[in-house]
Amino acid sequence: MSLTSLSISALQEKLRAREASPIEALDALESRIAAVDPSIHGYLSRDYAAARALAEKADVNLPLGGVPIAIKDVINVIGEPCTCASKILLGYKSTYDATVISRLRAAGAIPFGRCNMDEFAMGSSTENSAFGRSCNPWDLARVPGGSSGGSAAVVAADEAYASLGSDTGGSIRQPAALCGIVGLKPTYGCVSRYGLVAFASSLDQIGPFTKTVRDAGLLLNAIAGRDPQDSTSLDVPTEDATALLGRDLKGVKLGMPKEYFISGIDPQVDASIRAAIAKYESLGAEIVEVSLPHTEHAVSVYYVIATAEASANLARFDGVRYGHRAATDNLLEMYGRSRAEGFGPEVKRRIILGTYVLSSGYYDAYYLRAQKVRTLIRDDFTKAFEKVDAIICPTTPEPAFLAGDRTDDPLKMYLADIFTIACNLAGTCGLSLPCGFANESGKQLPIGLQLIGQPWKEARLLQIAHAYEQATDWHKARPAL
């Protein structure tokens, strides 16, 4: 077995037993990337020299000592590019570390590589990157999901031991499902957003992509916790996310929301999710039907709130202090042309939508009303969690779709996140893990099972996910590249 195919936990065993060194782990990654990333295009850049310098002095006895971690290109790492996959930030290099990067370094990890993504995290397929799309390792003609598609693809293709992404409406869980790996969105406020380039500030959350549930817990332990530099980071005691792993599921209640099992779901996805639910029953969990009645409004609410916040957040990219600046001596013309030349079509679309819903005469009709419905969606989850420990449902309504299939139909693209968006609106935690495969044109495509947990109960969520993972073999499958 090659080093690059190992989970974090398995790699740590070898590092601590001196059966491999951090430099050997890094070199193995670099060789693997050279071999397969020209096909995957999961990385936008890498600084091997800087990573090697860290590997040479890595303390393998630290929680993540000597483990290279790939980073979505929306999280600042000092001295590294942070383009957000946009031409408007081409040439920009970070002047500081995001808090999650500082915490990874403190845990002994080695930030290595900048992962491709949808521009400014706006998209569900990584086709909106200004630097070319990423490909799904299971079928290069298909998308890896988005917006953190590159971060998911490199883990699935064994080009990374793990990676960090961001999740605003499903951007960790959806690509994790389409690429057949584990993706965790923590509770809003659990992980600092300082150093994350903002898309929608009330929805964004940083989280890990990993090969196993245990690895997701290890990474969460490293990056979670209150940060005074982020006003949305909450002062809630963080528990060991791996503390409950290995416990059985006796007494655990899982809610099956009737609104998530609807017509239109791919039959192979539906069959795999129902088989996973049956497996949970055999493991001792009780399945309880619950209702999330405002689910039907989640996509509409999300695309009002998220675009409004994007309009405000992206106003800072004007060509004045950093990033692309149009060649003109006229100040107002410079603002307009810099943004017109620097932003891609999807980003422009969302800025226009957001500016519209915030404009005079429309604020109450759209943005304020959306916030009120968001409260109802959060209340739905609160009521459901009075009956169950977690909610079980599909991550996506279908497996990975063909590249180009939805680029001319934004509404169809937005519906790819129909099962993940509500979790962000409610601010709770969610996870996707592999639960089967669909056969499409002779290709095996991963299917993801979504578990939505109670706020601040990541350890419980991971316990429930881990029990299923250990009782099945889906997480062991790897694409043939």
Active site residues: 72, 147, 171
Of 468, 426, 347, 432, the residue nearest 172 (C-alpha) = 432
CB atoms within 10 A of CB 438: 18
The DSSP secondary-structure symbol of 239 reads P
- Residue 439 parent element (H or E): strand 429-440
Taken in order 289, 294, 296, 301, is the CA torsion positive or negative?
A: negative
Q: Give dist(CA 188, CA 391) in Å, integer.
A: 17
112, 29 contact by CB (below 8 A): yes
Supply 103's token pair: 């915490």
3-class DSSP state of 95: coil
Task: Using DSSP bridges, classify how beta strands 163-167 and 429-440 pair: parallel, antiparallel or unpaired.
Answer: unpaired
Place of tokens 């968006």: 421
Of 134, 131, 135, 195, the residue nearest 166 (C-alpha) = 195
Sheet-wide strand order for 205-210: 43-45, 110-115, 68-72, 163-167, 205-210, 182-185, 429-440, 443-453, 390-394, 253-257, 286-290
